[in-house]
A and B are shown apart, each in its own frame.
Chain A
C-alpha cells in the first residue's frame, strides 16, 4: 500500500508545531498501525531525521498508551479498539491519513504525538482507593455481592485510562473516565465507606485539571475502546447530587483527625 501521511510534528512543549506530509510506500495491509509508524520512523532515522515520538507499550489493547487522533477520530476508524489494534487493512491504497495528538488543555503536548496524561493519575489519587485491613488476604467470596453489580463494576473497571473519551469530546470533558473510576468502586460493598467523599474529590480534581463539562453528546461512549457506557456518567451525576446535598465538612472533636 502507498499512503500519504500527515503527522503533527512538535519539537517540545513550547514549540508551535505543524502538520508535516510524509509519503510512505510498501505498507502491508496486515501491519498494525503502530508497525506502520515503526516503518516510517526507520525510514526517517535512515534519512537522518528525528523519528515521530508516540506513546506505546503493550501493543495489545490493554495499557491505553497509544494515543493518536487518526482521520478525525481517537484511535482512528473502527469501534472498540485502540490504535495498536487498528490494522492497515482498514485503509485503502492511496489514502491520506491525518495523525494528531489528543487535544485538551489538561493533556499538554510533550512532543509530536505524546501528551502528558498525568491529570488522570491525579484524578485517581483524589479518590480511587478503598480502606481495607492490610495483612493476609480475605477469603474469596467472603462478602456476598450481587452478580449484576459485580459485572457492572467489572465493566467499569475495564477502563484503561487511554483518554480517547477526552480526545473525542467537543468539550474535552473527562466525565466518562472519571465516572468509570467512580462506578468501579462505588458499586461494590468495599467501596461504600468512601463513596461520598470519593465522588466529590474526584470531580473536584477533574475540574481543577481544566477538563470541560459534560453536555451529553455521547461521543466518548462511541469512541471508547472498552465500551464504557455513559450510564456510568448518569450514576456519577446521581451520586454527586446526593453527596453535594448531604455533605457536611468534618469537625475536629479531639483524638486527632
Chain B
C-alpha cells in the first residue's frame, strides 16, 4: 500500500508537469503539447514508468479495497453510538471511499484521453495536427469546454486532495519512517502536497473552460 501509494505521488508530480503545458491554449502550445504527448507514448523509458504506474494503481486499488473489507470483519458488531470525529480525521476514516471515487475518475479519464491517444485508429474523434502528431490538445480543449466534465474533474481533485491529506504521511508511517524530528516536516510537506498538487490539476480545466 505504502510503496505503491508513494510511487503514485511521484507519478502525480510528473503528470502535473505535463498538464501545466495546457495553459498554452494557442496554436504553438497545441503543437508543443502534441509533441510531448507523442514522446510520452513512445519513449521506452517513459513506457517502463507507465507500466509501473498501471501496476501500482491496480495493485493499490485492489489491495486497498481488500484491506478495507478485512478491517470491517474485525468489528462485526458496531457501536450504537460512536464519535470517531473526536479522535481521527475525516480523510483517514474514508480512504476507501475517496479511493473508489478516484478509481471511477481514473477510468473515465483514461477512456477519454488515454484510449484516444493509444488507440486513435479505432476512434474518429482524434485528428492529426500540422506536424502529423495526434491532436490530443484539441481533444482536451473540447472536453474541458463541457461544463459537466469540468465539474466532475474538479470534484475528483478534491477527493485526491483528501486522500493525500492522510495518505502522504501515512505512507511514511507504514514504512516505519517516523522520527520526532522529521515526522512534523513529512506531515507539513504532505498537507502542502495534498492542497497544491490537486489545486494545480484542477485549475487547468477551469482555465480552459473560461479562457481556452
Contacts and interface: CB of A to CB of B under 8 A. Distances in A.
Given A105-B75, A216-B170, A72 B82 contact: yes
A211 B73 CA distance: 9
B116 interface: no
Contacts of A223: 87
B176 to A, nearest CB: 3
Contact of B70 (A77, A213, A230): A213
B163 interface: no
A237 B11 CA distance: 25
B132 interface: no
Contact of A215 (B67, B76, B82): B67
B180 A213 contact: no
Given A168-B87, A231-B178, A231-B180, A98 B74 contact: no
A77 B85 CA distance: 12
Contact of B88 (A69, A211, A217): A217
A103 B81 CA distance: 12
B95 A104 contact: no
Nearest to B75: A172
Given A170-B84, A217-B88, A217-B89, A103 B173 contact: no
B133 to A, nearest CB: 44
B176 A241 contact: yes
Interface residues of A, number: 42
A230 B178 contact: yes
A86 B95 CA distance: 33
A20 to B, nearest CB: 11
B163 to A, nearest CB: 12
B87 A73 contact: yes
A219 interface: yes
B88 A104 contact: no
B61 to A, nearest CB: 15
Contacts of B75: 103-105, 170-172, 212
A71 to B, nearest CB: 7
A235 interface: yes
Contacts of B95: 215
A59 to B, nearest CB: 25
Interface string B66-82: 01001101111111111
Interface string A215-227: 1111100110000
A106 interface: yes
Nearest to A174: B74
A172 B74 contact: yes
Interface string A153-197: 000000000000000101111000000000000000000000000
Contacts of A241: 175-176
A222 B87 contact: yes
B81 A100 contact: yes
What are the 4 A-B residue pairs with the smallest beta carbon separation, nearest first?
A72-B83, A238-B176, A234-B178, A212-B74
Given A73-B83, A105-B74, A218-B87, 9 more contacts: A6-B81, A69-B79, A100-B79, A100-B81, A103-B75, A212-B71, A212-B75, A222-B87, A222-B88
